[in-house]
Structure 1
Amino acid sequence: MKKLSWFDKLIFFLNSLLAIALILAYFLPYIPPKSYPLISVLTLGVPILIIANLVFFLYWLLRMKRQMLLSLIIMIVGFGFASKFYKWPFTSEDRAGKYSIMNYNVRMFNKSVWTEEENIPEKINAVIDESDPDILTIEEYYKNEYLEKKYPFKFIKYRSERSSFGQAIFSKFPLIGKTSLDFNVDDFTGDNNNAIFTDVLIEEDTIRLYNIHFQSLKVTEDVQEVDNFKDKQESKKVVKNISSGFVRQQNQAEKVYQSIRESAYPIIISGDFNNTAFSHTYKHVRNDRFQDAFVKKGAGFSSTYNLNYFPLRIDFHLLDTVFEINSYERIKVPYSDHYPILTTFSFKN
């Protein structure tokens, strides 16, 4: 440190702070938000922490300073952690799987007019038609006659009997039984979030399929309200609102996990988690049992939420180990605040 200039000392101080933050982030999936809700907010910043430590490493490497070891060691320790964030692109000889599943949060097909672009429902339908998935799960669904005619089997759970808003599962295969976990009944959330599941008869096999939409953290809405965090009081309010959302997600994840444990069939989980792969919510549901389709076959950052310059992967396909994941694709189309994801899979022999 004595040989460092005052500027390099400042850089190393910042490097140390962000390195410590990344180490803390490694433990966050194991810490229930109910215990430390404010700390859980850090999971949203993990992509920035990883990139920042990489930049610091490169900075010290170019200057041939041993301070590079700090970020290097921390990134090596968390290599598996980083693989949930970025996958190095490679050419795969694997062919598409026998079956396909798509997840898409369609933001009500623009019923709320969040964008001035015209014919959003038709454009979303065209994206779905092009991929033609065997199974389609949708969050923030609004009644769509085209899809309801396209797929012979469906499970649509509306917010209420008089509502046309909710979640949906569409399938080319028969659906046996339809269940809603009804988060709102347990006061875990408002009526906009839920988890539904059904058993799907794929040829001679039966699988259980979940469509999950966990509590929204409303990050973008809150950030806009406080004018980029210029007001300290409003900034604290934003953090409090987000941390409260983490606690609700934990309650919801626990309910989903209990349902998963009761299933006698292999499971596929599809949905919008409203949280990252570094969160307690993700870890509790995945529970070292399920394969993350992106981790297996993805490439690049594969951000699934349209947030400028900030890669957020909050939509997931998690598959039991009886399935072979053959391909994964994030389809970048600007018709919702989420991008659809498409996974192809087969049954292992």
Structure 2
Amino acid sequence: MREESFISKVVFFFNKVLALLTFLAYILPFLAPKFFPFLSVLTLLMPLFLILNAAFFALWALQLKRKMLLSGMVLFFGITFINKFYKFSENNLPSETNDITLMSYNVRLFNLYEWLPAQDVPEQITEVIQDYNPDILCLQEYSPNDRVRLRNFPYKFVEVKGGKNKYGQAIYSKFEIINKGEIDFPESSNNVIFADIVNLKDTIRVYSMHLQSIKISTDIHENIDENKSKFIFKRISEAFSEQQLQAEMIKEHYQNCSYPKIICGDMNNSAFSYVYRTIKGEMKDAFETAGKGFGKSYNFDFYPARIDYIFTDNQFKIKKFKNDTKVKLSDHFPIFTRVSLEK
């Protein structure tokens, strides 16, 4: 029998380490981040873990080696996670008269601090919203701006804080808002707002969420050293612990609502996290139901980060979902869905 090469042994060692980390990441959505804050960072790496396991599987399969069974088993047990990461086909059902369209968009204060060189970002964002023409619009990192003229919405709920430069969230609606409110997170500038909206004879509740940010910029990959890596991991783990409390507050609040619900917005966490699992509960993820591709919602180079979501109660039929990665007017991309309320 031919002796296995040293390189093959080393490669399989890394394959085994990867398999162990991936299985650990599978378990983490069921464990509260406050108990394992550092390990919770692994959930952000799940897409990379899945891709690398697929690469190892292909490597050993091409060589007809039984080693492929390790990554094959990892991928088999993680098949439900793959669907959260990538969708091969979309579900785009015909529109009907009673359909409701909703857009959620973190607009990054309409470029208030000129992160982008373009001077007409507020006007461009207005044009994007008008082109989609949603029935309900939820904006995170909203800032009052006279250059943003959303004339199609007779009803709105705006909740902002701060001094000279105010910021917060907004819900705009073509349908009447009969009730509104806020979930105010302790010791945080983030929050959730909600509105009870009457569409024909039906009342639905829409939540717009903006959870604790991990405060990592899109140029994170530049000039990373050991100290910066430790700082980043510490910041992420602390943010995840705060998000746990926020997610549990959201769940407790919506469980007391009898109306059909839609929860959307910027979660600042992956679909493989405890936070995602807590907020989503038994609801539908619009991307999983009707999306296509990676569902990328954050403009992060070289990595398909999906941190913005639309969840619906099971009474809703999700007919379309889109994440528009061509709209680069914020560090987030707008997400859009079309649903119908089933009787």
- Per the normalisation by structure 1, the TM-score is 0.93
Structure-1 residue corresponding to 2:309: 316
1:107, 1:220 → 2: CA distance? Answer: 13
Structure-1 residue corresponding to 2:124: 123
2:2, 2:20 → 1: CA distance? Answer: 22
1:180·1:197 contact (CA, 8 Å) conserved in 2? yes
Structure-2 residue corresponding to 1:273: 267
**In the TM superposition, what are the counterparts of 1:87-236 in structure 2 within 5 Å?**
87-89=87-89, 92=91, 94-96=93-95, 98-145=99-146, 146-160=148-162, 163-183=165-185, 186-187=186-187, 189=188, 191=189, 193-220=190-217, 223=220, 227-228=223-224, 230=225, 232-236=226-230
The residue type paired with residue 316 of structure 1 is Y
Task: Could you tell me which runs of 5 or more consecutive residues in structure 2 were left unpaired when the two chains were aligned.
Answer: none
1:23 pairs with 2:23? yes
1:255, 1:163 → 2: CA distance? Answer: 28
Structure-2 residue corresponding to 1:55: 55
Which has more helix, going by share of residues? 1
Q: SS at the partner of 1:144?
A: coil
The residue type paired with residue 325 of structure 1 is I
Structure-2 residue corresponding to 1:85: 85
How far residue 299 of structure 1 moved from its aligned partner, in angstroms, is: 0.6
Q: SS at the partner of 1:275?
A: coil
- Per the normalisation by structure 2, the TM-score is 0.95
1:345 pairs with 2:303? no
2:243, 2:2 → 1: CA distance? Answer: 47
Q: SS at the partner of 1:219?
A: coil
Deviation string for 1:167-204 (max 9, x for gaps)?
Answer: 00000001111111111xx22x2x2x110111011110
2:218·2:299 contact (CA, 8 Å) conserved in 1? no
The structure-2 alpha-carbon separation of the partners of 1:164 and 1:63, relative to structure 1 and needing over 3 Å to count, comes to same
**In the TM superposition, what are the counterparts of 1:65-84 in structure 2 within 5 Å?**
65-84=65-84
Deviation string for 1:51-72 (max 9, x for gaps)?
Answer: 1101111111111111111111
How far residue 317 of structure 1 moved from its aligned partner, in angstroms, is: 0.3
How far residue 268 of structure 1 moved from its aligned partner, in angstroms, is: 0.3
2:9, 2:276 → 1: CA distance? Answer: 37
1:96·1:327 contact (CA, 8 Å) conserved in 2? no
1:144, 1:233 → 2: CA distance? Answer: 39
- What is the percentage of aligned positions where both structures have the same residue? 40
Runs of 4+ residues deviating >6 angstroms = none
How far residue 227 of structure 1 moved from its aligned partner, in angstroms, is: 2.4
**In the TM superposition, what are the counterparts of 1:242-281 in structure 2 within 5 Å?**
242-281=236-275
Structure-1 residue corresponding to 2:11: 11
- 1:325 aligned residue (312, 318, 322): 318
How far residue 144 of structure 1 moved from its aligned partner, in angstroms, is: 3.4
1:218, 1:150 → 2: CA distance? Answer: 33
The residue type paired with residue 49 of structure 1 is F
1:216·1:274 contact (CA, 8 Å) conserved in 2? yes
Task: Could you tell me which runs of 5 or more consecutive residues in structure 1 were left unpaired when the two chains were aligned.
Answer: none
Q: Count the aligned residue pairs.
A: 339
